[in-house]
């Protein structure tokens, strides 16, 4: 009897040790780092490994080092410092982003503006001590945000900003490009499943399980880090949101957010709280989410006719949620204070 008891005990001890060992050798399931000034995480589930996460985040950090408008040593900073003086050599990545960025500027009548840098710097939104700038400062900044004064030389691989004081800012599109780059690496490894989340700029690869899509939530745009108020089921797609709750400050009784209207020099103001864009191409989704936010719901609906396969979710100040045709009937509203409008 005693022998039986000790055998049982040994069995359970071995089971426990096996359980612990399994825990130790399990693939790391997700990796999170602070890159692009935000929390970025990538989850490759069972196919995740330290080597893969290291390679992915090395690429993200490399892109940040080239593309960031907020660090002195980036290529963007060098192009900005040479504004009005000389063209600067630009990596392929910059040219890959700047070309489409200028197209979005053209198509949106200049609302999407990669030369918005002087205004972004003036407002300093999302950083310590941000306040509403003086009217005269805004007027001066508006004189040097002409995106048509950005010149790309494709033979010499250079970028030249024509006027002194001009500054490129790719903050509205760079994370989308970075998500595409990470997805390319994951595809090249032959993996079919993963989630890339670069500060809310989401790209899902494959589906959750065969035949079962991922569940994505759209946060309440009235609250910083709010709960999901809309849910949708998606596979192989990027979902990117631009909204009033991402970066902002409050002065007096007014909230000033980070998407600036190049016409007025102030944060864009219309009926919208947020726009989420769905596209297989995360750079397109990123550029479009900012553009549509600036255009407002009505203009966006016709603007999107040029982008087949792209869908959007508009959430407005009256708590109405509107979706494009491709999403009709496929979203769920999770918060009863919001309602779907057709
Ligand atoms: P997103 O969160 O993708 O909508 O991008 C917002 C970021 O893009 C801001 O933090 C700025 O760096 C930059 N930005 C602000 N206004 C504009 C604009 N009108 N066009 C292009 N980029 C902008
Ligand atoms: Mg964007």
DSSP 213-242: PEEEEEE-TTSTTPPEEEEEEESSEEEEEE
pTM of the model: 0.91
The superfamily (CATH) of domain 68-161 is ApbE-like superfamily (1.10.3980.10)
Nearest CA owner, ligand 1 atom 12: 171
Q: Quick one: which atom of ligand 1 is closest to the CA of 201?
A: 3
Q: Quick one: which atom of ligand 1 is closest to the CA of 260?
A: 16
Q: How many degrees, rounded to 5, is the angle at CA 237 between CA 231 and CA 243?
A: 55
Task: List pocket residues of ligand 1, CB cut-off 6 Å.
Answer: 111-114, 116, 120, 169, 171-172, 242, 246-247, 258-260, 262, 286, 289-290, 294
Looking at all shown ligands, the one closest to residue 282's CA atom is: 2
Q: Is the pLDDT of residue 277 over 50?
A: yes
Give the class (CATH, top level) of 213-340.
alpha beta
Both tokens of residue 52?
């893969």
Choose the residue to mutate in 114, 127, 171 for probing ligand 1, maximizing ligand atoms within 8 Å of C-beta. 171
- Closest Cα to residue 79, out of 112, 36, 117? 117
Q: Where are the domains of the chain?
A: 68-161, 213-340
pLDDT band at 25 (very low <50, low <70, confident <90, very high): very low
Task: Give pLDDT tens digits for 295-319.
Answer: 999 999 999 999 999 999 999 999 9
Task: Give pLDDT tens digits for 123-173.
Answer: 999 888 899 999 999 999 999 999 999 999 999 999 999 999 999 999 999
**289 C-alpha to ligand 2 centroid (Å):** 5
């Amino acid at each position: 009897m005693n022998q039986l008891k000790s055998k049982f005990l040994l069995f359970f001890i071995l089971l426990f040790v096996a359980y612990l060992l399994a825990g130790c050798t399990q693939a790391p399931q997700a990796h999170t780092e602070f890159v692009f000034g935000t929390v970025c995480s990538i989850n490759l589930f069972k196919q995740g490994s330290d080597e893969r996460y290291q390679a992915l985040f090395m690429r993200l950090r490399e892109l940040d080092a080239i593309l960031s408008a907020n660090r002195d040593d980036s290529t963007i900073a060098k192009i900005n410092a040479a504004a009005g003086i000389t063209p600067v050599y630009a990596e392929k990545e910059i040219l890959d982003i700047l070309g489409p960025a200028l197209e979005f500027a053209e198509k949106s009548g200049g609302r999407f503006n990669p030369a918005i840098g002087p205004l972004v710097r003036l407002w300093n939104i999302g950083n310590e001590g941000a306040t509403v700038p003086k009217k005269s400062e805004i007027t001066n900044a508006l004189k040097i945000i002409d995106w048509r004064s950005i010149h790309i030389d494709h033979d010499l691989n250079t970028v030249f900003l024509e006027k002194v004081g001009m500054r490129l800012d790719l903050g509205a599109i760079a994370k989308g490009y970075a998500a595409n780059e990470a997805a390319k690496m994951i595809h090249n490894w032959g993996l079919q499943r993963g989630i890339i989340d670069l500060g809310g700029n989401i790209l899902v690869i494959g589906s959750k399980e065969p035949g079962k899509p991922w569940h994505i939530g759209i946060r309440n745009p009235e609250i910083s880090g709010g709960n999901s108020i809309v849910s949708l089921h998606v596979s192989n797609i990027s979902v990117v949101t631009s909204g009033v709750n991402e970066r902002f400050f409050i002065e007096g009784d007014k909230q000033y957010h980070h998407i600036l209207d190049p016409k007025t020099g102030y944060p864009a103001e219309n009926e919208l709280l947020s726009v989420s864009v769905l596209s297989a191409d995360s750079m397109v989704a990123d550029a479009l989410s900012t553009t549509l936010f600036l255009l407002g719901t009505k203009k966006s609906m016709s603007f999107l006719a040029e982008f087949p396969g792209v869908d959007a979710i508009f959430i407005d100040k009256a708590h109405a949620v509107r979706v494009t045709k491709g999403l009709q009937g496929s979203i769920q509203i999770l918060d009863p204070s919001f309602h779907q409008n057709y």
